[in-house]
Structures are given as C-alpha cells and as structure tokens.
A and B are shown apart, each in its own frame.
Chain A
Amino acid sequence: MTGHRSSEAIAAAFADGPAFVPYLAVGDPDYESSQAYVEALAAGGADVIELGLPFSEPIAEGPTIQNAVVRALEAGMTPTRFFEFVADLDVDVPLVCMTYYNLIYQYGDEQGPRPFVERAAEVGISGFVVPDLPAEEAGPLREACDEFGLDLVSIVAPTTGAERLKKLVDVSSGYLYVQARLGVTGASSSVSDQTGESLARLADVDLPKAVGFGISSGEQAATVVEAGADGVIVGSALVDIVAEGHANDEPTEAVADRLETKARELKQGALEGYGRRTPAPEGTSD
C-alpha cells in the first residue's frame, strides 16, 4: 500500500471480484433527473460511482462529456449545488468526485484544496480523480485527503513510463485509473491493445487497477477484466444515454431504466470476464 490514510469504502468495493465504476456528469441535464440517473446506476450494480463536477474547461474530455458539462453548467450546477446533490443521494456505494483542480482550489474562503476536501468528506465523498493534476502538483490535495481520510485516484496513461509510475503510485490511494488509450474520454467500438500492456506494467503495483476510456459494452468490460483489470470505468457510453434522452425529451424514469439496464450489462460483462480469467497462482503477473 502507499501509506496514505484511505477510504475503507473504496477498498471494500474492490475487495470481492471486479468493480464496475460508472461516471456521470452531475446536474446533466438537470438536478433532479441527474439524481435519478445516479441512483439507477447504483441499482444496476455499480460498485463505485464517479461523479463529475462540471468545469468550464474540461481539457481531458471528449465531445460526449464536454457537452454533458455544458448542459449541467447551463442548468446551474456549481460546487455548492454539487455537495447538496451528493448529500441528497440515496445510494449505498462509495462516491468519487471527478473534477478539475481550479474548482477544488477556489472553494471556500481560503485558497487551496482543504475546504473542498473537508466539505466533500462531510457529504460522504470517498475520493477524487483530478485529470489536470499530475503527481508533481498533487502535494497539497494529497495532504488534505490524508487529513480527512479520502482517496486520491491517479490516472495512469499509456505514455507513463516506469519512473513516472513510481511518482504516481506514491501519491495515489483507492485505485489507479488506467487510461486504456491515448487521447480524451469517449466511447469506442473496440478495446485498445494498449490495455493489456498497461496492465502488465502495473502488475506489481499494490492498488486496484480500474480501466477506463473507450469501454461501452458488456463484452468490452469482459475483455478488460479478463486482461487483468480489477475494475472497469465507463463514462461516455452512459452519458450518451442521458444525452439521447434529453434530446428526445424522454421522461426521467425511462432514461433511468435504460441506464440501469446498461449498468447491469456492464457489471455482468465484468463478472464474465473475471470468470474467463485463467486462474493464476498468487503473486504472478499474468
């Protein structure tokens, strides 16, 4: 382990079999629907949920999530509303806040990450993913997370070499977000070949590895877990369902039902992939 004070909830979520980790942009397309959608994902088998707090300049996101962020901001989502949203949620899975550093840095009366982390802990957030915060700049947020017992999840890219990986692991806790391919977020029709290589490089790291970027079907989830992932992260494929429902003016319940069905498919895929794994002796890097 990395020696950081961590959220026990996240560790527990990865303890038994593969974790299904869905993402939604909070407040997309509006506060109430978004709550129903997050709850639908929990009902569909989510083990951890990544909640996107919209930032006006989401440089790591592809068009799907970028558009979701715009919808949520236009509907009035703010960090203060985000915390209310989380406090109001009726779900029993650990929640991770995914956002950009400027929002974390600006929250509260004093600049710096501590007030944001403190408030996140109060409403029941278990950890953070911050795409524009590499290990080099993560110190202050890591310190605040340690103070309040929250996890800081780092993203490992296909370009991350051995030396950088050490730096990353050093500031990380909870799980590693393994980026399946280069680029920005977005659903894709095939799983990148880079996934297997990335997982092999991480075999010795004593943190769960959840693979994201481009996973959109149960079969893809199965493939990724079979390749050794401890979890699958799915964002754009779910956000697409929200976007479609919004565009067609569908009732919230109908969209929530489809999200729950999709969540079941993805969770089931992850479990099947786990079942297909060749049992390997403990400690091998297969």
Chain B
Amino acid sequence: MSSEGERSETSDRAGSDATRENGGGGGERVSAGDGKFGRYGGQYVPEALMPAIEELTDAYERYVLNNEDGFVDEFRRRLRDFGGRPTPLQRADRLSERYDTEVYLKREDLLHGGAHKLNNALGQVLLAKYMGKERIIAETGAGQHGTATAMAAAHLGMPCEVYMGERDINRQRPNVFRMKINGSEVTPVTTGRGTLKEAISETMRDWATNVEDTHYVIGSVVGPHPFPQMVRDFQAVISEEAREQVIDQTGGLPDSVVACAGGGSNTMGAFHNFVGDDGVDLLAVEAGGSSLAVDEETGVAPNSASLSTGSEGVLHGARTKLLQDHDGQIVESHSVSSGLDYAGVGPELAHLVDEDRVTPVNVADDAAIEGFHRLSQEEGIIPALETAHAFGYLHEHHDEVGDVTIVNVSGRGDKDLDTAIEETAQRDIPNAPDMSMFEGGLR
C-alpha cells in the first residue's frame, strides 16, 4: 500500500486546470484557464452558443472557483442535507475474502437519487440559479442524469426539460417515470439509433435556440470548456471523501481506484484527488460490449470503449478520443448499459490516458452481467449495469489491483432490473439465479 502523503509535485497542477492569478488587490483569484487538457478539450460549438459559454465560464470562475456569494458553501450544504453526503466508504467483506484483497466500496449508490449524478446536477442547477437562468435542459442516456437533474430542478424550483433517446426511453422506463413525477418534461429523440449521442445533439439544438434564458446541464465531463472541468469539480467530492475515508480506515492510500467509464464523470470524480498520488493506480473500466472490433460493414462498434480503441477527433464541443470511422463519421457504440453507451469520453480522461496516469481497461457485456449478479449476491448491493462493469473487471483482474482497492459504486441498479432480466435470459451467465419464473409475463 502507498504511504499517506507522498503526493507528487504534479498534484496541484493535475488537481486543477484552473490557474491562480494575482488580482492586484492582494487576494488571489482563480481563473478557469483555457479548457485544454494537453491536446484535448477546447470549445467546438456553433457561434450562437459561444456567448453563453463565455457567460458560463465567467460564472464558473466567480461562483465555483472563487466561492462568490457563498456558492460553494450553499452547494456543500445542499449536497449534505438534500443529497445525503458524505456517502460511506464500506469495506466489502465477502469480496475481500474472495479476492484476498482489501476491497472498499465508495457508495455513491446511496446518494439521493441512487447515483453519483446528483453531485453534478445539483451543482449546475444551483449555478444556473445564481446566473439568473430561467430554464434547465438536459440530456440523458440511462436516465440517471436526467433523474438527478429533474430532482435538483424540483428542489430548486426550476422548470426542466430532458431529452432522451427513444431506444433509451424503452430501456429505462423507471427513470423516465421518476423524471416525470419530479415535474420535468421528457422529450423523446428519434434520430439515429435513439441513444445518448443523439440526445446530446438534440439538447445542443435546443440550447442554440433558447440560449438566452436556458442553461444546459451537461451530464458528464464532456462538451465544450468549461463543462469537462466544472463537472469534474462537482464530482471530485467523491475522491475527496474517499481519500480521507481510506486513510482514516486503513492508515494509508489505496493501491488502486477502479471506476467504470462512459463519458467519464464518476471516473473523474473518483480519480481526481488521487491523480497526484503516483502510487495509486487509476483504472477506467470501459464497456467492451460484445467485441472490441468495429464492424466495418455496418459501421457499428459493438462496444463503447473510446479510451481503449478510439482515436482523436472533435465531437459535441471538445477534442477527445472517439469511436469514428476512417473519414471521421461517428460510429454507433454499444453497451448492455445505456449509461456507458456513448461514442466519446471526457477530454481530461483522454489526456490522463495519454500521460499514462490512467489505465483504460474494458469488460465485455457478459462479464458485466456476472458482476451485477455477484455484487448483489455477495454484498447485498444491486449495482447499476454501468457500475457492474467495474466489478466485472475486479473479478477478472483481482490479482492486479494491489492489496487495497477502492471500487466506485457509481449507482444502484433498480433502474436496470428489466434490462438485467432480459440480458441475463439471453446468455449463459454462470452465477445467475434461476430466471425461469419470469417467463409468462412476470416482467
């Protein structure tokens, strides 16, 4: 195990891309920087959105980075009282025994709404309120971000519209219902395959139309600057707590942190405060789907592993690693988990992978479903199918995670029960319970 406190010199720089400027008045003011993570990041959006992005950058600097008007204090208070933070860092006794490794679970599934998504949604909706915006829009894949945004908007009294791919609506009915009962409108997106990628494009179109009074709550560490950095800052509370908790419980730092990676918000949240700790391995588990190869004929990648297999390109406002064909057309991704089913990934993660600070790994659909059942059976925690990828990885590679590992339980699996039943029934999953009782319409 790494010893406590041995942080590398890059810690502070890696910890924030923001820069400190001497304001001349004696106090230091933190600026948002240029939004570049090495060769990644940037602001590739229509001109109509640029003034809104400048306005957002200014608000991010003032309220989030410099705590103007006590924004950060209010955010922390609401995360505690409304959100239920801090979430526990729980030792997983049976997994620890099974793998002969100390496994600690960061329980973001216990956050209000059942996923880490609330950290960001609450931060952005509150920021929109500080900015005087009148309307919230968001996109959602698995529905967790949409649900978190709908909850935050209801909590703070803001009208909210959520765009969601038609296919995802059918995969995630419970979350659609949750958004609607929280008072949000859910608008189906029918273009393309009707998944997260199309929902993001559609939300950007709404934003371009209503930019003057509307804030777009992007759901992950993707999009134009300042979103990747700002969303990371809101999610960094995960690793901030986990770092303190693991030191408190074990006397030192972990050997590794494991988190599933789609767009990368729970990943960056879980990694951020460990980036400067060179002895801590950071493992980003992507959806390997059914295969890592791209089907050249159909142009479909039967995976969502953009860090492992993607190439550099520009999508949805940022330069990052993407699943694309030779010409630069974005290819369709696939994952059994709709929350990971996205052809891009956050630019900071892409950079940290290039710098060899984060190791991208991946897990196939089958292993993720096994992970889903295993965590449920052995620890009494039903994980989101996204999260299940991290446990699929742990199972296959427990020899490689060191003596102490933290796995980020990014969300709970209630929303995925229908999908889990269906997907389990289609496969030969060795640790699955007998599902035959579900035949005949029990679902």
Chain A residues in contact with chain B, CB under 8 A? 55-62, 66, 70, 73, 78-80, 100-103, 105-107, 111, 131-137, 154-161, 164, 168, 179, 182-184
B residues within 8 A CB of A183? 48, 205, 208-209
Residues 312 to 327 of chain B near chain A (Cβ within 8 Å):
312-317, 322, 324, 326-327
Q: How far is the CA of A183 from the CA of B202 in the complex (A)?
A: 11
Residues 9 to 43 of chain B near chain A (Cβ within 8 Å):
42-43
User: In the complex, how many angstroms separate the beta carbon of A277 from the nearest chain B beta carbon?
Assistant: 27
Known: A106-B327, A159-B211. A184 touches B205 (CB 8 A): yes
Count how many pairs of residues, one from A and one from B, have CB atoms less than 8 Å apart in the complex. Answer: 119
Q: How far is the CA of A180 from the CA of B389 in the complex (A)?
A: 47
Most chain A CB inside 10 Å of its own CB: which residue of B47, B52, B208, B314 = B47
CB <8 Å contact, B314 and A131 = no
The 5 closest A-B pairs by CB, nearest first: A106-B328, A183-B209, A157-B48, A102-B328, A159-B51
User: In the complex, how many angstroms separate the beta carbon of B251 from the nearest chain A beta carbon?
Assistant: 47
Describe A's contact surface by its main secondary structure. Answer: loop
CB <8 Å contact, A182 and B44 = no
CB <8 Å contact, B328 and A57 = no
Q: Is B50 among interface residues, defined by CB-CB distance under 8 A?
A: yes
Known: A103-B328, A164-B51, A182-B211. A137 touches B44 (CB 8 A): yes
Q: How far is the CA of A62 from the CA of B210 in the complex (A)?
A: 14
Our pick among A62, A107, A134 for the contact of B205 (Cβ within 8 Å) is A62
Q: How far is the CA of A59 from the CA of B322 in the complex (A)?
A: 16
CB <8 Å contact, A57 and B330 = yes
Q: Is B197 among interface residues, defined by CB-CB distance under 8 A?
A: yes
B residues within 8 A CB of A131? 46-47
Q: How far is the CA of A179 from the CA of B191 in the complex (A)?
A: 25
User: In the complex, how many angstroms separate the beta carbon of B380 from the nearest chain A beta carbon?
Assistant: 42
Chain B residues in contact with chain A, CB under 8 A? 42-48, 50-52, 54, 191-192, 197, 201, 204-205, 208-212, 312-317, 322, 324, 326-330
Residue of A nearest to B43 (CB): A136
Known: A106-B327, A184-B205. A60 touches B315 (CB 8 A): no
CB <8 Å contact, A73 and B46 = no
Describe B's contact surface by its main secondary structure. Answer: mixed
CB <8 Å contact, A179 and B47 = yes
Residue of B nearest to A69 (CB): B191
A-B contact pairs, 30 of them (CB 8 A): A56-B330, A57-B197, A57-B201, A57-B330, A59-B204, A59-B205, A59-B208, A62-B205, A73-B329, A78-B327, A101-B314, A105-B313, A105-B328, A106-B324, A132-B314, A134-B45, A134-B47, A136-B43, A155-B47, A157-B50, A158-B48, A159-B48, A159-B52, A159-B211, A159-B212, A160-B48, A161-B51, A164-B47, A182-B212, A183-B205
CB <8 Å contact, B201 and A59 = yes
Our pick among A105, A135, A136, A160 for the contact of B51 (Cβ within 8 Å) is A160
Q: How far is the CA of A111 from the CA of B46 in the complex (A)?
A: 22
User: In the complex, how many angstroms separate the beta carbon of A129 from the nearest chain B beta carbon?
Assistant: 11
A residues within 8 A CB of B329? 55-56, 73, 78, 103
A residues within 8 A CB of B212? 159, 182
Our pick among A58, A70, A107, A182 for the contact of B328 (Cβ within 8 Å) is A107
Our pick among B46, B191, B210, B328 for the contact of A157 (Cβ within 8 Å) is B46
A residues within 8 A CB of B322? 102
B residues within 8 A CB of A137? 42-44
B residues within 8 A CB of A56? 192, 329-330
User: In the complex, how many angstroms separate the beta carbon of B133 from the nearest chain A beta carbon?
Assistant: 14
Q: How far is the CA of A265 from the CA of B45 in the complex (A)?
A: 33
Most chain B CB inside 10 Å of its own CB: which residue of A106, A156, A164, A168 = A106
CB <8 Å contact, A184 and B327 = no
Residue of A nearest to B204 (CB): A59
Q: How far is the CA of A164 from the CA of B329 in the complex (A)?
A: 30
B residues within 8 A CB of A134? 43-47, 50
Residue of B nearest to A131 (CB): B46
Q: How far is the CA of A160 from the CA of B314 in the complex (A)?
A: 23
Q: How far is the CA of A95 from the CA of B324 in the complex (A)?
A: 27
Our pick among B44, B197, B211 for the contact of A132 (Cβ within 8 Å) is B44
CB <8 Å contact, B45 and A184 = no
Q: How far is the CA of A52 from the CA of B46 in the complex (A)?
A: 16
Q: How far is the CA of A31 from the CA of B230 in the complex (A)?
A: 44
CB <8 Å contact, B315 and A157 = no
Q: How far is the CA of A61 from the CA of B209 in the complex (A)?
A: 11
CB <8 Å contact, A60 and B211 = no
User: In the complex, how many angstroms separate the beta carbon of B196 from the nearest chain A beta carbon?
Assistant: 12
User: In the complex, how many angstroms separate the beta carbon of A175 from the nearest chain B beta carbon?
Assistant: 15
B residues within 8 A CB of A100? 314
Our pick among A102, A103, A179 for the contact of B48 (Cβ within 8 Å) is A179
Most chain A CB inside 10 Å of its own CB: which residue of B50, B312, B317 = B50
Q: How far is the CA of A66 from the CA of B313 in the complex (A)?
A: 21
A residues within 8 A CB of B209? 182-184
Our pick among A103, A105, A107, A154 for the contact of B47 (Cβ within 8 Å) is A154
Q: How far is the CA of A111 from the CA of B314 in the complex (A)?
A: 11
Beyond contacts A107-B328, A132-B45: 12 other A-B pairs, Cβ-Cβ < 8 A, are A56-B192, A59-B45, A102-B313, A106-B327, A134-B47, A155-B47, A157-B51, A159-B212, A179-B47, A182-B211, A183-B205, A183-B208
User: In the complex, how many angstroms separate the beta carbon of B224 from the nearest chain A beta carbon?
Assistant: 9
A residues within 8 A CB of B54? 164
CB <8 Å contact, A182 and B208 = yes
Our pick among B204, B208, B314 for the contact of A105 (Cβ within 8 Å) is B314
B residues within 8 A CB of A158? 48
Q: How far is the CA of A38 from the CA of B400 in the complex (A)?
A: 60
User: In the complex, how many angstroms separate the beta carbon of B327 from the nearest chain A beta carbon?
Assistant: 5
B residues within 8 A CB of A161? 51
B residues within 8 A CB of A132? 44-46, 314, 317
Known: A57-B316, A101-B314. A164 touches B50 (CB 8 A): yes
User: In the complex, how many angstroms separate the beta carbon of A98 from the nearest chain B beta carbon?
Assistant: 13
A residues within 8 A CB of B197? 57
User: In the complex, how many angstroms separate the beta carbon of A72 from the nearest chain B beta carbon?
Assistant: 11
